[in-house]
Amino acid sequence: MASMARRRLAGKIATHLALVPFLVFALFPFYHMALTSLKQDRELYDRHAVPLLIRQAPTLEHYAKLLWDTPFFTWMKNSLLVTLLSTTLSLVIGTVAAYALARLKFFAVGSFGTAIFVTYLVPTSLLFLPLAQVVNWLGLADSKWALVVTYPTFLVPFCTWLLMGYFRTVPKEVEECALVDGATRIQALLRIVLPIAVPGLVCAALFAFTLSWNEFIYALTFTSSSEEITASVGITSELIRGDIYFWGSLMAGAVLGSVPIVILYVFFLDYYVSGLTAGALK
Amino acid sequence: MAVGNIAVTARLPLRVRVRELLDREQVLGPLFVTPALFLLVLLVAYPFCMALYFAVSNAFIGRPSHFVGLRNFVNLWQSDAFRQTFQNAFVFTGSAVALKLVLGISLAVLLNQQLWFKRAIRGAILLPWVIPTALSTLGWWWMFNSLYSVVNWTGIALGIMDPPGPNWLGQKYYAMTAVVTVNVWRGLPFFAITILAGLVSIPRELYEAAEADGAGPVARFWLITLPMIKPVLAIVVLFSTIFTFSDFNIVYVLTNGGPINSTHLFATLARQVGLETGRIGEGAAISLYLFPALMFVVWAQLSFVRRQVY
């Protein structure tokens, strides 16, 4: 009996050991990024120093340089504005569309569902060139509003697809009871279905926020001036000036630009895990 | 009497009539999908038609365009950059998806065991997938730096590499290895977590029965685990194929297609040709090469997955 328990413990330890390379692979780039952002230039560019540790006193000078000498705050503000607006917009449009697709019977509902699914899979890199023209015609060239308008093209299909799955899990009978009691469809949606589907809504909101915060190719193509670009674009294009002493600030920017996502991630980890599988499997 | 009734209906307050109309599924349904439909027609279907037109025109930034037939495609096939890109796209997608699949299954099997810090481990594994790719790729760019590469330092310290180690982003095959590595790093969590969901749903009794029949761990994996997660694997591979094939961020930040086009993908080449040199027609034609891959994935998904949903 004791040997059995010991064997099981050994197996458990072996599993953890086997996971170590995967964990190092996943986390090391972040560790190295944070480390670089805190190192003094003297140590950073010393080719004999150990790059895996900070031996000399850590410094915040790269962060200070990033915050005071670059328009970093503007970029973050743009990212936040674009992300919040496009997420809200997509969530509303996606919710009503998903409800219609999951619950209502009407003309061509099936082909509309297929259309949503197809656009869900359309990569952003397929359409960015003609979309840039559309953005020009709308008078939104080099404006963050171009992003507010175009991000829903990939967020709405995603939210719709995810929420359809959640709405289907709400028992029809619950809703029918409300309808028999004299509630309208819209009341039933607002008071019965949505409250039950709150986890789905949280999940859709989190993913929409993450997807639009992380979006890069549209932001790079549709905006270019310092006042309009988002954090990802600002950090990757404006901090690189050809001289070699920018690595500290660049890594500081990469760290700070990820902070909003990391905060959400820490609080809502379980939603991320369930949403990831739901998005692909439902 | 009947006339009176009609008069009464007509005199119902507007609010009530709208309310009744909204309760009909034939009215509310189309109304609810209209905003999404409007968006998709204006900003997806219409640009797609424009892409088709651009691809057969000599569109150039800020100039009127004319129909040129298939000249863009002919020009592309005559350019070394495009032929190289075409090859890169398949090498990149093939190797990245294969690696993610093998590593993803291994990682999922490990995560499915009894673990001490289950939640923390899952959180750490999933992290590369949620952090903005453009920013995390900057971190990799620094890790592959020609002078201060921490990868080379570690390799030399461990005795695996001869100093000074490879110039990762400056040599053809190493650059491709680097972009594949970063793509695997970023896409592995998606594979692992989704496959894990498939593993969790396999009934325990199957394993118990197999164990009673004398099947070892290896036989159980090949005869139970793998067949049971086949549908999940198919979905994950299809999803990943289209998103890897159309990747932009990693290559743009890490190598911008270089050295000498050896890591260009359709998306990065399309941007370079369409925006940096202004030949939108040719750029659109390059982007359109993503379309057959998309169609294949959609077709496969619709015949596998949607059958269960609708």
Top residue of A16, A37, A80, A129 to mutate, by most chain B CBs within 10 Å, is: A129
Of A97, A121, A265, which is closest to B130 when you measure between CB atoms?
A265
- Secondary structure of A168-210 in the HEC alphabet? HHCCHHHHHHHHHCCCCHHHHHHHHHHHHCHHHHHHHHHHHHH
Whether B114 has its CB under 8 Å from any CB of chain A: the answer is yes
Give the residue from chain B lying closest to A164, CA to CA.
Answer: B309
**What CA–CA distance (Å, rounded) separates B116 from B271?**
47
Of A27, A50, A232, which is closest to B124 when you measure between CB atoms?
A27
Write down the pLDDT at residue B306. 56
Q: How far is A247 from chain B (nearest CA, A)?
A: 8
What pTM value is reported for the model?
0.89
Contact A94, A163 (CB under 8 A): yes
Of A126, A262, A265, which is closest to B287 when you measure between CB atoms?
A126
Give the residue from chain B lying closest to A120, CA to CA.
Answer: B298
Q: Is the pLDDT of residue B26 over 80?
A: yes
- In terms of C-beta distances under 8 Å and separation of at least 24 residues, what long-range contacts does B109-112 make, across chains too? B109/B199, B109/B221, B109/B225, B110/A15, B110/A18, B110/A19, B110/A22, B111/A19, B111/B192, B111/B196, B112/B196, B112/B199, B112/B200
Flag if A32 and B150 touch (Cβ within 8 Å).
Answer: yes
Flag if B36 and A97 touch (Cβ within 8 Å).
Answer: yes
Flag if A129 and B136 touch (Cβ within 8 Å).
Answer: no
Nearest one of A73, A98, A90 to A230, comparing CA atoms: A73
CB–CB contacts below 8 A, A to B: 295
Of B43, B50, B135, which is closest to A153 when you measure between CB atoms?
B43
Average pLDDT, chain B: 86
Q: How far is B5 from chain A (nearest CA, A)?
A: 23
Q: Among the ranges A138-147, B214-223, B271-280, B293-302, which has the highest mean pLDDT value?
A: A138-147
Whether B309 has its CB under 8 Å from any CB of chain A: the answer is yes
Give the residue from chain B lying closest to A79, CA to CA.
Answer: B132
Residue B309 binned pLDDT confidence (cut-offs 50, 70, 90) = very low
Averages of pLDDT over each 10 residues, chain A, 282 residues: 82 91 94 90 80 84 88 93 96 94 86 86 88 90 93 93 87 84 85 88 93 93 91 87 73 93 90 76 50
Give the rounded percent of residues in chain B with a pLDDT score beyond 70.
94
Give the residue from chain A lying closest to B283, CA to CA.
Answer: A129
Residues of B in contact with A106 (CB under 8 A): 25-26, 28-30
Q: Is the pLDDT of residue B280 over 90?
A: no
Residues of B in contact with A20 (CB under 8 A): none
Of B127, B130, B298, which is closest to A118 when you measure between CB atoms?
B298
Give the residue from chain A lying closest to B267, CA to CA.
Answer: A125
Flag if B124 and A26 touch (Cβ within 8 Å).
Answer: yes
Q: Is the pLDDT of residue B181 over 90?
A: yes
**What CA–CA distance (Å, rounded) separates A246 from A251?**
9
Top residue of B15, B21, B25, B33 to mutate, by most chain A CBs within 10 Å, is: B33
Top residue of B135, B137, B142, B296 to mutate, by most chain A CBs within 10 Å, is: B135
Q: Is the pLDDT of residue B211 over 90?
A: no
Query: Does residue B260 come out as left (phi exceeding 0), alpha (psi in the -120 to 50 range) or beta?
Result: left
Of A45, A93, A126, which is closest to B294 when you measure between CB atoms?
A126
Contact A230, A223 (CB under 8 A): yes
Nearest one of B246, B291, B296, B101 to B187, comparing CA atoms: B101
Q: Taking residues B24-31, what's their average pLDDT?
A: 84
* DSSP secondary structure letters along A253-280: HHHHHHHHHHHHHHHSHHHHHHHHHHHH
Write down the pLDDT at residue A279. 61
**What CA–CA distance (Å, rounded) separates B121 from B103?**
16
Whether B64 has its CB under 8 Å from any CB of chain A: the answer is no
Write down the pLDDT at residue B130. 92
Write down the pLDDT at residue B1. 40
Flag if B50 and A133 touch (Cβ within 8 Å).
Answer: yes
B220 CB-near residues (< 8 Å, 6+ apart)? B207, B210, B211
Flag if B139 and A30 touch (Cβ within 8 Å).
Answer: yes
B62-114 tens-digit pLDDT: 677 778 878 888 888 888 889 999 999 999 999 999 999 999 999 999 999 88
Could you tell me the domains of chain B?
78-309 (1.10.3720.10)
Work out the angle between the directed axes of helices A124-137 and B46-55 (0-180°, nearest 10). Answer: 100
Phi, psi of B60 (to 5 degrees): -140, 145
Flag if B26 and A210 touch (Cβ within 8 Å).
Answer: no
Write down the pLDDT at residue A256. 94
Contact B155, B144 (CB under 8 A): no
Write down the pLDDT at residue A243. 55
ipTM of the modeled complex: 0.90
Flag if A184 and B128 touch (Cβ within 8 Å).
Answer: no
Residues of B in contact with A236 (CB under 8 A): 134-135, 138, 253
Flag if B28 and A185 touch (Cβ within 8 Å).
Answer: yes
Write down the pLDDT at residue A261. 93
Could you tell me the domains of chain A?
2-59 (no CATH), 64-281 (1.10.3720.10)
Give the residue from chain B lying closest to A20, CA to CA.
Answer: B121
Place of tokens 């949903």: B309
Residue type, B257: G
Chain B 192-231, CB below 8 Å of chain A: which residues?
Answer: 193-194, 197
Phi, psi of B289 (to 5 degrees): -65, -15
Give the residue from chain B lying closest to A222, CA to CA.
Answer: B275
Flag if B126 and A125 touch (Cβ within 8 Å).
Answer: no
Residues of A in contact with B279 (CB under 8 A): none
Question: What is residue A127's DSSP assignment?
Answer: H
Other CB atoms closer than 10 Å to residue B187's CB: what's the count?
A: 26
